[in-house]
Amino acid sequence: MLISWFYLMIAILFEVAGTTCMKLSEEFTKLVPSILIFVFYGLCLTFLTLSLRKLEVSIVYAVWSGLGTIVITSIGIVWFRESFTPIKVMSIFLIIIGVIGLNVGEYLQNYKN
């Protein structure tokens, strides 16, 4: 099961790289970032699929989208100088709480059985 979590983390890294390349491609006018979008998303979906061997799709998708959102928001703020507002901070906090809730809920459900 640990390898599935590893695959999920790799998928998140490739998803973040692909999303970053979307910004860098400047609407597909830059060749290398435009090509890398498809390479990184292809690798992302490959590792995401591999993570589903042992993990539930609801957990995988919640962690993938939640952590991906947190990382890409951080990159946007730091690298692309996007705004950093209280609503962004609160939204990221709620994503983290949601991911923790899903994982704790799964643990408690498995513990009862």
pLDDT given for residue 103 in this prediction: 72
Model confidence pLDDT, tens digit, residues 22-52: 999 999 999 999 999 999 999 999 999 999 9
pLDDT given for residue 111 in this prediction: 67
Model confidence pLDDT, tens digit, residues 69-90: 889 999 999 999 999 999 988 9
CA dist 10 → 47, 66, 90, 101 (Å):
7, 14, 26, 22
* pTM assigned to the model: 0.84
Average pLDDT over every residue of 1-18: 97
Total number of domains in the chain: 1
pLDDT given for residue 39 in this prediction: 98
Domain residues for 33? 2-112
Identify which of 13, 59, 63, 65 has the alpha carbon closest to the alpha carbon of residue 39.
Answer: 13
30: which DSSP letter? S
